[in-house]
Structure formats: C-alpha cells, structure tokens
Amino acid sequence: MLLSIILPCYNVEEYIAECLDSLYNQDISETEYEIICVNDCSPDGTRKVISNYQKSHQNLILIDHEKNLKQGGARNTGLKKAIGEYIWFVDPDDYIKPNVLKQLLDHCRINQLDILQFNYEKVTTTGLFVSKQKNVSNSIVLTGIDLVLALGDDFLYNYTLSVCSRIVSLKFLKEKKIVFIENTIFEDLEFSLRALLFSKRIQCVEESFYCYRFNSTSTTNKLNNSNSIKGESIFQTCLVIGNSLVDLSLDINPISEKISKEIYSSGVWRINQITRPLLKIGNNELKNFYSLLTIDFINKLSPYLNKANKIIIKYPVITKVIIYVTRPLLFVIKKMKK
C-alpha cells in the first residue's frame, strides 16, 4: 500500500461526494492506496454518502467515532488504521487535482522523503478559482532545520502549516511519535511544526495539487467574528495551542536553540492573547472558559503568563468585575468609531 488518504468527516454532506470523486479520478490503481474516512459523530448525511461509495470502492474504509474528538482526534484515528507508506490528510470539503497521485508518490519514493511540501489553490464554495497560494518554491532535499533557517526569522509566517498541503512518511511519523492534539481547533499548527523540525529529508515543490475551498462558515472564519467567539475556543486557541508550542520549543532546543527561542516566544505570545477575546464574550461563555481550567494546567501556564493574565486566570471573580466595568466602555468606543 503506497498511500493512505485520511479524511476527518463532520457535517460535510454537501461536499464529500466531490472530494471522493477527486480522490478516485487518479492515475494509480485503487489497490495501491486507501481512503480512510473517520466519521466524527456527524449529525447530517455524511456517513450515508460514504457508505454508498463503499459499495463500488473496496479501498474505502469508514470508521465511526462514538464521541466527537474534532479534526485532530479523527486524524489520529485514521493514522492508527493507516498502512500506506505515505499519508495525505485531506479535508472532505476540499478536493485534489486529477491524476496527481503517481507524480507525488514517485517524487516521495525516489527522493526518500519524510515530507513533500507543495502549494495549493484557493477556490470558492462552488469551485471557482480564487488564487494560487504560493507558500513554497522548488528546493533541494533539506533537513527541516535547514529549511527553517533558509526561510529566515519569519518562518512561522512563511511556511504553510496546513497539513493538507504535504504528504508525509508514515514511518517517519511513527518513529518521531508525531500525532495531533485532540479535542481542540488549530490542531495542525503544532503537528506541522513538529513534523517540519524533526524531518531529515523534506522537499518543497512549486506545483499546486490541492484545492482549498474557502468557506465563510468555517471554524477559522467564525473565530474572526467576535459574535461567534466561544469560551472553549479561547481556551483552545490561546492556552492549549500556546502551551503545545512551548512544549515543542523545549523538545527542539537540543537541536537548534535559535529556532527553539522563536517558537517559545510564539507560544508565550499566544497564551497571553486571552485578554481581548475574554472582554468580548458573555457571562455564560466566560463561565465555560473557566470551567476548562484545572489547577495543574494553571500551574503549568503560570510561568508564561504576564501579570495581568495571571490575575485573569487565577481570580475569575476579579475578572468578572473588570469585564463588567470595561465592556460598556468598549461598546461606547466602538459606537463612536462608527
């Protein structure tokens, strides 16, 4: 088995047929790759669509979660089941270009790559081309550390962190014990950085093989709308992901102290971004945020919190008073700006 394509599936009834069609419109035999769909407790008709495709495709595997674990958990489930030499994580509301699998796999195998990185295209929900996202250009085979050094100090912004724009060796992932953080969003950030930094053979190519469907109702776009911010989202995107970056910085420090410092700074910065969104959410969401904090996690975060955020994290009653006073003022300022 050359390739395992893993799809985390949740509420994608509208798009998954097009995605699966693109995965089957390829230039290698279906016996050479497998498609693993992980149904993450999707309440719509996603599972039914996948089941119908199983009737005519023996390489399509369907796994049902008993509990929703979000994309990271669904991808981890797929990883445990996968037997392909290489892994491609594809989001089921996106699709790939026709007849590209042979070229991609030949490139990976000939160059004995841990990671093959490529560009992608941005399309509308109806599939109309928007732009080509050119994040990487042709390069020789490098170590991940050398690639980061070549990208410069802004590598965190110059390297695409989407797992969909790369193919990764399963053997490499298992040897380095690289998995996704579960029950959170933006789970691909830490995963992508860890894979990049520990890879010994990575290559970037300019070609675009993946089509990313821009969806205004996606998680990322909802987070950009202050009216949609949830306490759980703030906890996950700031504290959980920030803490994971700090942990990664400690793991990579023996290999590169310079890169370790940059990731550490990024993690600490992210942890301390809780202030502004907490001032915008309602009392119920604020209560939800604090319900997720455990004493052990607070103690672990404490060295990375600035003075104001230490108070916010440790003393929720004081925070509620501050918000009660500040929120009306913010509302007035916002109204004056309009």
183: confidence class by pLDDT, cuts 50, 70, 90: confident
CATH number at residue 7: 3.90.550.10
Confirm if 107 and 24 have CB atoms less than 8 A apart.
no
Confirm if 218 and 250 have CB atoms less than 8 A apart.
no
Confirm if 210 and 136 have CB atoms less than 8 A apart.
no
What integer is the mean pLDDT of 136-146?
Answer: 83
Confirm if 3 and 106 have CB atoms less than 8 A apart.
no
Nearest of 280, 251, 278, 279 to residue 264 by alpha carbon: 251
| 201 and 290 assigned to the same domain | no
Confirm if 201 and 111 have CB atoms less than 8 A apart.
yes
Domain count for the chain: 2
Amino acid at 255: I
| 36 and 169 assigned to the same domain | yes
| 242 and 209 assigned to the same domain | no
Task: For residue 273, give its domain range.
Answer: 220-337
- Tell me the CA end-to-end span of the chain in Å, nearest whole number: 59
| 142 and 9 assigned to the same domain | yes
Q: Coil, helix or strand for 38?
A: strand
| 206 and 295 assigned to the same domain | no
Q: Mind listing the pLDDT tens digit for each residue in 32-65? A: 999 999 999 999 999 999 999 999 999 999 999 9
> Would you give the DSSP letter of residue 29?
-
- Tokens coding 146: 């050398």
| 17 and 152 assigned to the same domain | yes
* Residue finishing a domain among 160, 193, 215: 215
Q: Which residue has the tokens 């916002």?
A: 334
Q: Coil, helix or strand for 152?
A: coil
Q: Does pTM surpass 0.85?
A: yes
Q: Mind listing the pLDDT tens digit for each residue in 225-262? A: 545 688 999 999 999 999 999 999 999 999 999 999 99
| 49 and 104 assigned to the same domain | yes
The half-sphere exposure of 157 on its side-chain side, counting CA atoms within 13 A, is 4
Give me the pLDDT at residue 91, please: 96
| 13 and 67 assigned to the same domain | yes
| 210 and 271 assigned to the same domain | no
Pairwise CA distance, residues 212 & 96, whole Å = 9
Distances (CA, A) of 94 to 124, 146, 221, 320: 10, 31, 16, 41
Residue 143 clears pLDDT 90, i.e. is over it: yes
What integer is the mean pLDDT of 295-299?
Answer: 92
CA geometry: angle 208, 22, 11, nearest 5 deg: 105
* Residue finishing a domain among 168, 184, 215: 215
* Residue finishing a domain among 215, 249, 269: 215
14: confidence class by pLDDT, cuts 50, 70, 90: very high
Q: Which residue has the tokens 């796999």?
A: 105
Pairwise CA distance, residues 178 & 188, whole Å = 11
| 167 and 229 assigned to the same domain | no
| 232 and 293 assigned to the same domain | yes
